[in-house]
A and B are shown apart, each in its own frame.
Chain A
């Protein structure tokens, strides 16, 4: 069975500071990993995905994620946070025609 874990319910960061949202995975075989973001009263929006290749994946809105096979992690990062980045972030693993989501991490960026 595959699973992803997001150990932090909430991450607080000041605007302009770097941010990291953590995700670890448990997948047999090659993992397909995703990050999605959800704004209030909205569906999920795709940020980036890792299929194979470079361990550093660049995505939308200045976000990037680092795939680390030895640590089974796929942390989401951004060099400089914006207040508008405040939202709920989900890590997910791709399974057979479905996604398995983590529990989500709420990111709060203060001015």
Chain B
């Protein structure tokens, strides 16, 4: 079956711009999570959505936002980009119905954002 698809795979933006990243989960998965991966901070949780509702949010500024659509596809948006937002943004999906914390996540290949 098809895996988690993230688009675009690579993008370059300049400071102050905004960016929207897209994630299509595995068919049947209703939970979508987003993570930021940087060399300095490692893998950090951004937010998780289940059936269009945000169930948890990480410690990121309000410039980072997300949403989930009725078909479980998700988007995340970063406004007013800063140099420090350069990172690999990973999306992951799961059924989301196991005991909280026990869900196995399937990750996409990521969207690599470079901010100049």
Give chain A's interface residues, CB within 8 Å of chain B.
32, 34, 36, 41-46, 49, 51, 90, 93-104
Contact = CB atoms under 8 A, between A and B. Distances in A.
Interface residues of B, number: 27
21 contacts: A32-B101, A32-B102, A42-B109, A43-B4, A43-B90, A43-B110, A44-B90, A44-B92, A51-B99, A97-B31, A97-B33, A97-B55, A97-B96, A97-B103, A98-B45, A98-B56, A98-B101, A99-B105, A101-B42, A101-B43, A102-B42
B11 to A, nearest CB: 15
A32 B108 CA distance: 22
A72 to B, nearest CB: 17
For the residues of A in contact with B, the DSSP-based class is strand
Given A49-B102, A104-B42, 9 more contacts: A42-B109, A43-B92, A43-B110, A94-B100, A94-B101, A97-B48, A97-B96, A98-B48, A99-B45
A46 B42 contact: no
A97 B42 contact: no
A87 to B, nearest CB: 14
B83 interface: no
B98 to A, nearest CB: 9
